[in-house]
Structure 1
Amino acid sequence: MSGRLAAITAALCLTSATVALLPAPSSAAATGPGGETVAEGRHTAQISRTEYGIPHILARDFDGLGYGYGYAFAQDNVCELADQVVTLRGERSRFFGPDGESGEGSDLASDTYYGGQLRAGTVRQLLDQKAPLGPTAELRRMVEGYAAGYNRYLRDTGVGKLPDPRCKGKPWVRPVTALDLWSVVYDVNRATGTVALAPDIGEAKPPTAGAGGTVASGIPDGKDTTASKTSGATAAASVVPGGQGLAAADVASNGWALGRDATRTGNAMVLANPHLPWALGNFRFYQVQLTIPGTLDVSGAGLYGTPLVEIGHNRNLAWTHTASDAQHASFYALKLVPGDPTSYVVDGKAEQMRRRTVPVTVRDQNGKLSTVERTLYTSRFGPVLSSAWTTRTAYAVRDANADNLRSMNAWLAMGKAHNLAQLRTAQNTYQGIPWTYTLAADTSGGTYFTDSSAVPHLTDAQLARCARPDSEEGPAALDGSTLACAWGSDPDALVPGIYGPSHQPRLSRTDYVANSNNGPQYTNPEAPVTGLPGVYDIDPHLDQRAQLGLRMIAERSDGTDGLGAPGFTEATLRASMLGNRVLSAETGRDDVVDMCRAHPSLTTTDGTEVDVRQACTTLARWDTRADTGSRGAALWITFFNRLLDGGPPDIWRRVPYDPAQPLTTPRGIKGDEVRVQRALADAVQDFAARDLPVDTELGAVQKWAGIPLPGCDVGCFDVVEAGPDSGTGTPTVGAVGTSFLMAVELTPDGPRAHTLLTYGESSNPASPHYTDQTRLFSRKQWVAERFTQAEIAGDPALTVTTLHS
């Protein structure tokens, strides 16, 4: 019997003295808005917390595993899940009023959208399906257990005694149901599609007389749209050129899987480096280990409110995800029937938009509740948007993940997999990965890359024939007046409308696969992935972060990066990750220094003459790194962002993009270009206006809760974007970037890993685990993972909680 199995067996046979120290069992149940219940049956789980509050959940079955996970998550983040549930139940206006944080009616629009989903029974209908379309029996039990564990914590602690002051005693903190949790999953799956447009969908209404060609609010220029508070997080999406769909704006990542030919030990390694908003909500990660002896033992991180590890490893396999460059949703332009803006024409025949009336309870400024009725409009191509709805045209969005609860099936099966072949089988069976690439390695020393996400089945011919460019009247979109522009299907696709596994990009290697949100083509430049449908590879150009990642691997392979002998070790993998190199500076800093030495006085955008000699000296002395103590990094970031805002980069690039040199072009900066000179002058003026020396350390102006942060967003591999306002002690929604870090080596004796959750396990400002790992990140330190029972038991800070119900 293993040590951990023995521990849980002992937990089932507690003495009466031990039982007295445990929370009392209960048979209470939670009730949701539809009357559904989560009964707390027999659950047993053990929560062992190691350094930095990282929970290791041990149970004998999936009911208990979910129970322990839900309880542990509630201990750290009870307010976040409670807030998500308010959103997903369409009740923000009831508790916070209709205007939301923006003061522009965002809560009312959000409630309309989510209330409509509940009335339509969308998630319930997906749950009614059997696996593989619906959740497996194991997952259903785990989610039921998770809800029961969360509710157990809430009941034992009491809402009025919650340790988090943000939701202590608040009426919106209530028990959750399994339906609530599946709604969280459903929301996460559609993050790069309809969720980003939820307020726009909730606000949709036919134009009034005289609207003609006038564009409504939201996305009139087809460039971008930003959702307000959805599921407790700020989501953003942008229109993809060519009228093909949406892509997440603040969802990015780096991921490497290194094979036996790339490492000094011959053991495979995986680097996980997702970049997500640090703002509170369901796009933050929670680190956890989940163990059922003999069935599952997986460690890593999952998004708030989801019941599994989504990036992580077990004994034999490790994987990570990066945001896919493929399309996962499409805009459709609807040709409206003259005189009837709620009817549209498809292949010459009129179709009426479907309407759904949604009652929303609203609290006014005096606390009085009333009910308003709103209407949602839906077409055959998906929900209709408020933006750009005129008497001639309306726009709808179709989401490839609109029928997807399968993601949890895939992640659970991946967590159980023993090798890459089983991981592939898991993804092919459930086809549920919503919007990410997968990079993985196993103990054989092999690596694997794929885009197994849900991608609309649109051929290149359709895209060429059907795309309508963005204009003053609306966003880029596909032609919704003919079914010839509708999504097709693959014979091996589990659901209609998407590409099946036979068309998905794949690459297996024994050296490496890597991705930094670039398309699949240069996953490994030695074996370009080509011949894909255009929806998979929107833009084959590599941005500077992707170029830097491939350069870092190449330089580690030949030992020219200053980190010692060629080949990766787990230590040099970590050092590479947090080396904080800035490729934009490596390839352009000297050009700027030459320019400012030749022109010690430059003119700003507003015509002011600025002395740039000190700035020039600062940049010349800078080591081109974005460490917290780097002097010159802050100035460079300000300058380069000004430069990017000043017009197309082709104008100021010294060496333009060359398709024959995709890994090294474009590069350099034209010092004689006026916008380059103006950008530096503006940056110096900006520092003076803030009363900052031009050689201010990066960590003095880039903070989170007062803690200096490394990294940057202008050619850094370690992406961090946070302004000085986030140093006030109250983190802002503006911070984004490196969130969960994992560097794991798969040795014959078991995994050896280091991790870092940059914002800590708890969202509670009063918790010791609120920013404890942020301080590590500031110092480039990692947490040595404790994976085995012996490693967990050996932690001097270990605390153990055993739960029964």
Structure 2
Amino acid sequence: MTEDGHTAQIRRTEYGIPHILAGDFDGLGYGYGYAFAQDNVCELADQIVTLRGERSRFFGPDGDSGEGVNLASDTYYRGQLRAGTVQRLLDRKAPLGPTPEVRRMVEGYAAGYNRYLRDTGVDKLPDPRCKGKPWVRPVTALDLWSIVYDLNGATGAVPLAPDIGDAKPPTAGQATPASATSGLKTAASLGAGGQGPAADDFGSNGWALGKDATRSGHAMVLANPHLPWVGGNFRFYQVQLTIPGTLDVSGAGLYGTPLVLIGHNRDVAWTHTASDAQHASFYALKLAPGDPTSYVVDGRTEKMQRRTVPITVRDKNGSPATVDRTLYTSRFGPVLSTGWTTKTAYAVRDANADNLRSMNEWLAMGKAHNLRQLRTAQDTYQGIPWTYTLAADTSGSTYFTDSSVVPHLTDAQLKRCTLPGSEDAPTALDGSTTACDWGNDPDALVPGIYGPSHQPKLSRTDYVANSNNGPQYTNPEAPLTGFPGTYDIEPRLSQRPQLGLRMIAERLDGTDGLGTPGFTQHTLRESMTGNRVLSAETGRDDVVDMCRAHPRLTTTDGKEIDVQQACATLARWDTRADTDSRGAALWVTFFDHLQGAGPPDTWRRVPYDPAQPLTTPRGIKGDDVRVQHALADAVQDFAARDVPVDVELGAVQKWAGIPLPGCTGDKGCFNVVEAGPDAGTGTPTAGAFGSSFVMAVELTPDGPRTHTVLTYGQSANPASPHYTDQTRLFSRKQWVTERFTEAEITGDPALKVTTLHR
């Protein structure tokens, strides 16, 4: 309770950003849950329907992405509930289980959300998408912990949930069950590049700039996570959480998580980017002859475990019926539908299968007063699920680590145990021998993962940076080496991390056109919103030379196309992906065609050279017929859509009618944005991906100076004033000046205060 007897205050400043003030963790969670429900009640309600395994009950067995997808998803999640997986983890004491403070936050958050439902009434909710719907119900602390558990498994079992829920052994004479080809996202598509699921839907840029990289000598952090804009699972919500004398942290958390996951306090700032490490492993099971539900390990037969779960399904007439479904589990983890034949089956072992520790760690990071305390928090809980951490403190130092939960697999094991994949099955480890099991580290908190002594780490006073590349080039002046290979699946730098490192280097020597060398708050923000496109910077002139020499080109299907106007458009283009850039949309389309024409090194003028990892590959071979076809195909695409080739990028890339800058990372865009002309309009297929919560913070002796923009706003409700208010800022390269201190918060002319009593 706070001094005047109320439980919590919700103080909203510009753009609806809530600053929650309470006297204890119960009240802090209570205020946060209430505030979040005001903005996003439908999203959380929908998440809970999924996690309770009730999508078939309310929406029928089929989903938008395929026949039976809701039923398969429900099977997975009902199985989790039947097994008591999350509850079993909650029964542990800290550090393995949640700390008392985090438990109270979660319980308070659930109570605050439920208070909002009581106060408002489901039939009077302001969001028409769930107003009066029977699936909007009170939540429990277990529901919220299930969200945390689901988030932690986002690069492991969770993306395979429909595949796990649909797994069935083959029948006699059937090589592969029909369920494996039902159109679900298969393990094979998720396993590219490694022995486990890939994090294709996640990305980020993160910079921590030390005193030697800034003109003021103050450390700075740039946070730029790239996540989906649609759906509640991975949208950010901006908040400040304050218990006087105990906690004062500002930033953003993912929907349903009652903490700040990316942010800062007075002394420390941090961000995360998706780690290149493997966080789960596929295992190939050698099945016992004549029994596709038994497998052999070290010559001994083991029976798969079966769990039957009843699923309530709404039929075509709206009537409920119960369907019994069976889940299959091996010693490695759940069995997949993909690739299950009479001889082989595949299972996924998720390193985060026992992880609720992440919440302990994020709370401790939010309390840290320096990088030493932040590192202690990470070493104590070892719960960051699948991201790198980049951080800085008021001393002017920076820190990078992959402290995520990574399977203990040696390089020798990976070489010896990896079995090749195919179109119908993932690359996997040999499950027929315990020699391919995960090992243990003496300093690891739980079995099977690497401990802090093996994790890549780097401390610098100039900078550390990452754009989802491996750890090696965190700072090219001090390459990281000597860590296990499972931390660095693809050491080769792609376009976006190359551009990020180039942007830092050019700012430090003053060659980027932004003035005197060294970062300031202004030039940090200018760098972020510069919308540079590396593929165009290094290849546009080659393409212009080609099309000037060949004003008529042939498409892939043999049609001759006049490309003179397209050529002139590219020649005039400034190689930026700004909303008003004319040429960016054409370049994006051209480059998509080019990437589909063959491996990049075959059409690059200078192919990849391991001795020049920061600057190769580059250029484009103008005399390559595939390059010529790609430009002709792009022009043909524009004509087919009746769109001029010099259309402004913002005319064809929008969110709810608002022009968006940026492009995808494979083009070499730092500010990643992917959207269509109708994104955000509410249609089922509409959506966007990319820059979400953007934060530029400077840690000064007088306190943090921070600018942010939440690209899709605080609310997912299209009727809310905070649905697109920050999208318009993002479109115009504008930022929100953060209000962190009491004076800044109370001095806001737009301040609105809600006082909650329990």
Class of the TM-score when normalised by the shorter of the 2 chains: over 0.9
Q: Classify the secondary structure of the residue corresponding to 2:191.
A: strand
Which residue among 740, 743, 748 is the counterpart of 2:693? 740
Q: Show the counterpart of 1:273.
A: 224
How far does the alpha carbon of each residue in 1:365-409 deviate from its partner, in whole angstroms, 9 at most, with x for none?
A: 211111010000000011000011000100000000000000000
SS at match of 1:654: coil
Q: Is the Cα contact below 8 Å between 1:256 and 1:512 reproduced in 2?
A: yes
Partner deviation per Cα, 1:104-155 (whole Å, 9 max, x = no partner): 1111001000000000000000000000000000011110000000000000
Q: Which amino acid aligns with 1:772?
A: D
Alignment of 1:433-512 (within 5 A): 433-512=384-463
How many Å separate the matches in 2 of 1:96 and 1:201?
20
- Deviation of the 1:214 alpha carbon: 7.7
Label 1:174 to 1:237 Cα distance change in 2 as closer, same or farther (>3 A): farther
1:775 and 2:728 correspond? yes
Is the contact between residue 678 and residue 686 of structure 2 (CA under 8 Å) also seen in structure 1? no
Q: How far does the alpha carbon of each residue in 1:446-475 deviate from its partner, in whole angstroms, 9 at most, with x for none? A: 000000000000000000000011125521
Q: Deviations over 1:587-625 (max 9, x none)?
A: 000000001011111111111110000000000000000
Question: Among residues 49, 55, 73, which one is paired with 2:12 in the alignment?
Answer: 49
Gaps of 5+ in 2: none
Structure 1 counterpart of 2:93, from 125, 130, 134: 130
Match of 1:26 in 2: none
**Structure 1 residue 216: deviation in Å?**
5.8
1:388 aligns with 2:388: no
CA 1:592–1:215: 2 relative to 1, 3 Å: farther
DSSP-derived class of the 1:662 partner: coil
Equivalent in the alignment of 1:9 = 3
SS at match of 1:502: helix
Any conservation in 2 of the 1:457–1:498 contact (CA below 8 Å)? yes
Instruction: Find 1:90's aligned residue among 23, 34, 53.
Output: 53
Amino acid at match of 1:789: E
The whole-number CA distance in structure 2 between the counterparts of 1:56 and 1:784 is 14
In structure 1, what is the Cα distance between the partners aligned to 2:714 and 2:589? 31
Say which of 527, 532, 535 aligns to 1:584: 535
Q: Which moved more, 1:324-333 or 1:210-219?
A: 210-219
Distance 2:226 2:612 in 1: 27
Q: Deviations over 1:319-361 (max 9, x none)?
A: 0000000000010010101110000000111100000000000
Amino acid in the other structure paired with 1:773: Q
Task: State the identity as a percent.
Answer: 83
Deviation readout 1:741-786 (Å, 9 max, x if unpaired): 0000000000000000000000111000001000000000000000
Note if 1:225 corresponds to 2:185: yes
Query: Shift of the alpha carbon at 1:730?
Result: 4.6
User: How far did 1:246 drift?
Assistant: 1.6
Aligned equivalents of 1:498, 1:420: Cα separation in 2: 24
1:225 CA drift (Å) = 3.2
Determine if contact 1:468/1:478 at 8 Å carries over to the other structure: yes
Distance 1:493 1:595 in 2: 56
1:247 CA displacement: 1.7
* Aligned-residue offset at 1:102: 2.9
Q: Structure 2 matches for 1:326-725, cutoff 5 A?
A: 326-713=277-664, 714-725=667-678
Structure 2: which amino acid aligns with 1:153? Answer: Y
The number of aligned residues is 756
Q: Which residue of 2 aligns with 1:16?
A: none
Q: Which residue of 1 aligns with 2:127?
A: 164
Q: What corresponds to 2:752 in structure 1?
A: 799
SS of the residue corresponding to residue 558 of structure 2 reads coil
Distance 1:377 1:647 in 2: 40
The aligned counterpart of 1:36 is none
Matching residue of 2:156: 193
Q: CA contact under 8 A between 1:186 and 1:405: conserved in structure 2?
A: yes
Trace 1:204-353 onto structure 2 (pairs within 5 A): 204-212=167-175, 217=180, 225=185, 238-242=190-194, 244-353=195-304
CA contact (8 A) 1:254 1:516 kept: yes
- CA displacement at 1:650 relative to structure 2: 1.1
Distance 1:89 1:709 in 2: 36
2:705 is aligned to 752
Amino acid at match of 2:185: T
CA deviations 1:231-272 (Å, max 9, x no partner) are xxxxx9721435x21221110000000000000000000000
In 2 relative to 1, CA 725–745 (structure 1 residues): closer, same or farther, beyond 3 Å?
same
State the alpha-carbon separation in 1 of the partners of residues 579 and 181 from structure 2.
37
CA deviations on 1:691-711 (whole Å, 9 max, x unpaired) are 011000000000011110000
Q: Tell me if structure 2 keeps the 8 A contact 1:331–1:476.
A: yes
Gaps of 5+ in 1: 13-42, 228-235
> So what's the TM-score if we normalise by structure 1?
0.92
Give, as a single letter, the amino acid of the residue that structure 1 aligns with 2:640. A
* TM-score, normalization by structure 2: 0.98
Residue 635 of structure 1 aligns to a residue whose secondary structure is: helix
Aligned in 2, Cα 1:215/1:526: closer, same or farther, shift over 3 Å?
A: farther
Query: Does the CA contact (< 8 Å) of 1:278 and 1:733 recur in 2?
Result: no
Instruction: Let me know the Cα RMSD of the aligned residues.
Output: 1.5
How far the C-alpha of 1:528 sits from its partner, in A, is 0.2
